[in-house]
Amino acid sequence: MSGLKLFRTNTTNSGVTEVMPHLAEVEADVQGLVEAHMETLLGVRFLVSEYSTGPVHRGRIDSLGLDENGSPVIVEYKRGVDAGVINQGLFYLSWLRDHRAEFEHLVRDRLGATPASQVLWTAPRLVCIAGDFTRYDVHAVCEHRRSIDLVRYRLFGDDLLGLETVATVSGGTAVARRARRQAAGPVAVGGQSASLVELAYAVDEALLGLGGVNRVQRKQYRAYQRLRNFACLCPPQRSKLLVYLKVDPKDVDLVPGFTRDVTGLGHHGTGDLEVQLRTPRDVDRAQDLFRASYAAA
């Protein structure tokens, strides 16, 4: 990991021992580890490994999955640095867009009819996991109008895995920037007051301003995502907006009328901490919670 040093503490003599980082011996080791724990590591439900693209495209997608918002995800792995991983992944992403019915059939077989009927095709994602990336790789993904995550991995000792997001690019970023105010408004429709529309815009600005954030619009909520969702903004309920965060409610001093533990309670979006926003001051109060959820994603 770039600049990261990891130490194991020794409580007996108060000493520390550095745990040296290393790459996997072979690419398959990285792939097997991520596929076995994909939902925990990436927020993606694993579908299939080494998926054949058929005799015409003559390729094999390393991993296929479905993320928390129902977006298709391609995951490609490289043991070290490989300039071809991005182009290879983009090739498969184009194939995926042309084979929607095939992917939905796969989801139906693995996860059931309901997830298959709710696949979100507005922004299929490519996640590239490699030992490292060059500055040219980072520049290249910024030139594409696709949702791409570059993730650097390192193994530490025999039992520790580190993942670091090097770059995150959201599909359609240029369009979103030209119409950010309009894009922030759809959660406040149906005759809602102008103040709630402005409040939704303020929340949008605060969450996007954390950096490297994808925004995914679903009918029931808008997700703000790094590798995983860290915030979900729901349509207004009378005089307030609801934001759900990936923060453990047990770690928060809950304030009635502002924060609520919704663990085990049904709601749209993801996250167990509900934040209720009524005024711009509430958005300011929520900034630390936004950052905590962002850091955990």
pLDDT in tens, the chain (297 residues): 567 788 888 767 778 888 999 999 999 999 999 999 999 999 999 999 999 998 877 899 999 999 999 999 999 999 999 888 999 999 999 999 999 999 999 999 999 999 999 999 998 999 999 999 999 999 888 888 789 999 999 999 889 999 999 988 887 443 344 334 444 454 544 455 678 888 999 999 999 999 889 899 998 999 999 989 999 999 887 889 999 999 999 999 999 999 999 999 999 999 999 999 999 999 999 999 999 999 988
Identify whether the C-beta of residue 205 lies closer than 8 Å to the C-beta of residue 184: yes
- Sorted by sequence, the CB contacts under 8 Å of residue 235 that are 6+ apart come out as 187, 188, 189, 190, 220, 221
- Residue 289 structure tokens: 């919670």
Fold of the domain spanning 22-169: Trna Endonuclease; Chain: A, domain 1 (3.40.1350)
What is the CA angle 167-226-198, rounded to 5? 115
Give kind and range of the element (H or E) at residue 200: helix 194-208
- Around Cβ 179, how many Cβ atoms within 10 Å? 10
CA distances from residue 254 to 233, 266, 271, 279 in whole angstroms, order as listed: 19, 19, 15, 18
pLDDT value of position 176: 41
Q: What global pTM score does this model have?
A: 0.83
| Rounded Cα gap, residues 269 and 267, in angstroms | 6
At 253, which amino acid appears? D
pLDDT at 14: 73
Q: Which are the contacts of 215, defined by CB distance < 8 A and separation ≥ 6?
A: 170, 176, 183, 204, 207, 208, 222, 223, 224, 225
Whether 41 and 52 have beta carbons less than 8 Å apart is answered as no
